Amino acid sequence: MKRSLVVGIGSALPEKVLTNRDLESIVDTSDEWIVQRTGISERHIAAEGETTSDLALAAAEKALADAGLTSADIDLIVLATATPDQTFPATACTVQDRLGMHHGYAFDVQAVCSGFLFALTTADAHLKAGSAKRALVIGAETFSRILDWSDRGTCVLFGDGAGAVVLEAHEAGEEATPRGLLTAHLRSDGHFRDKLFVDGGPSSTRTVGHLRMEGREVFKHAVATITDVITDAFEATGESADTIDWFVPHQANRRIIDASAKRLGIAEEKVVVTVQHHGNTSAASIPLALDVAVRDGRIKKGDLVLLEAMGGGFTWGSALIRW
């Protein structure tokens, strides 16, 4: 049996930083209001002409360098995004070309804020099936392009960025504590699609549209719905809130993160939080947070890391990785 190991990680952020104080001159809000309700202090915003593929490429190159590999060693690219460069081709194909990779295959997945987990699980399935030996899994977004900057309930929440990991297929041995992606669980329920959505699209309005959200409903479901996929992860592996080393949730809102950890019985010191600096970067938020925690030495080889996310759709999921 094969298992997918994370052998490299990288991230990228636009240079421009938009602080809460900056937002006070754009929309009727305040630093105190934003911090109190979201925990966010600043976010990065893509420059004019800076695209999702630009950020994805930068993150992918860093992940490859971290793994000591080149694009010649990669067979597959799975890129999660809700803000592609174009309706088609897939942004993953643009990244493939810009990496100089003219072999293998590349495609996008769209599960909004759960996108990275859906992409990770998809790549894992391809590696286990033997279709590829190594995969780049990328979460990249330029959500600033779909925000209504007059809507203070949404424009203060989101930012731009990208994160990437290199997955490598290994034959599972008899290790007492096997490394790699141990289990993953995905869910969706389209009944809630109108709680968090974009009011445009090629087929419906022929426009890009803007993000719309019912904040209270999303908060309520975000805290409640993740329990099932994390319970499934623990039951599948025999692990628990006590045995994991790190909890890396989707970085949407500090209140959601704190409430979710408390509900799950996960100690505060195990929770990786980066939302204060990045805002909600949708599919990029988990790999961005992972990269921060790896770089600062918190996440180390052999650590047990729990990932979770919920996004528009609704979609949600979990993954448990032995780093």
Q: Among the options 126, 250, 277, 278, which is catalytic?
A: 250
Asked whether 275 and 222 are in contact (CB, 8 A), the reply is no
Q: Please confirm, yes or no, whether 280 is among the known catalytic residues.
A: yes
Contacts of 250 (CB under 8 A, 6+ apart): 113, 114, 280, 285, 286, 308, 309, 310, 311
The span from the first CA to the last CA of the chain, in angstroms, equals 18
Distances (CA, A) of 55 to 60, 205, 223: 9, 28, 30
Tokens of 107: 């495609």
Amino acid at position 112, single letter: V
Q: Among the options 20, 113, 155, 185, which is catalytic?
A: 113
Rounded to the nearest 5°, which phi and psi values hold at 28?
-75, 90
Q: What is the DSSP letter of 165?
A: E
| 3-state class (DSSP) for residue 126 | helix
Q: Is the dihedral of CA 292, 115, 68, 303 positive or negative?
A: positive
For residues 168-193, one letter each, b for 16 or more C-beta atoms within 10 angstroms of the residue's C-beta and e for the rest, the string is: bbbeeeeeeeebbbbbbbbbbeeebe
Query: Which residues are designated catalytic?
Result: 113, 250, 280
